[in-house]
Amino acid sequence: MFVREGYVEERTEFASGTLVYAVKTSQGNTLSADFSNGNLILYVPAAMLQQWAATDLVGMDHSMHLPNGKQLYLLIEKDFKCIDAPVTEDQSDMYEHPLKAC
């Protein structure tokens, strides 16, 4: 889904509001992120996304420099089927597990 459409979004409901978190393709050269109005977006460069999807590369990471001199560590990894047991969620949009079959 993310590879085809370039965007995926999930939501977590809290009593005081909703956290929206998304992953979106970008034209940049490195992973980056932004947080605004309860929305967290991780940006993945299109070239990195294509390499990630077409190879056995499991994850990508980057330390993003912040204006205050600190760094934010970003990590994105493939979501494999059959990682947790018992399976209680729809796994149709997950990557096949490289070491076992479900």
0.85 exceeded by pTM? no
Residue type, 48: M
Q: Could you tell me how far CA 55 lies from the centroid of its own chain?
A: 16
Beta strands 17-26 and 39-45, pairing class: parallel
Give the model confidence (pLDDT) of 38-72 as tens digits.
899 999 999 998 888 788 787 899 999 999 999 99
Strand runs labelled E in the chain: 7-14, 17-26, 32-36, 39-45, 59-65, 71-77
Q: Which residues pair with 71 in a beta bridge?
A: 65
Please check the confidence at residue 94 and state whether its pLDDT lies above 60: no
Predicted local confidence at residue 55, as pLDDT: 82
- The alpha helices in the chain, defined as continuous H runs, are 2-5, 46-54
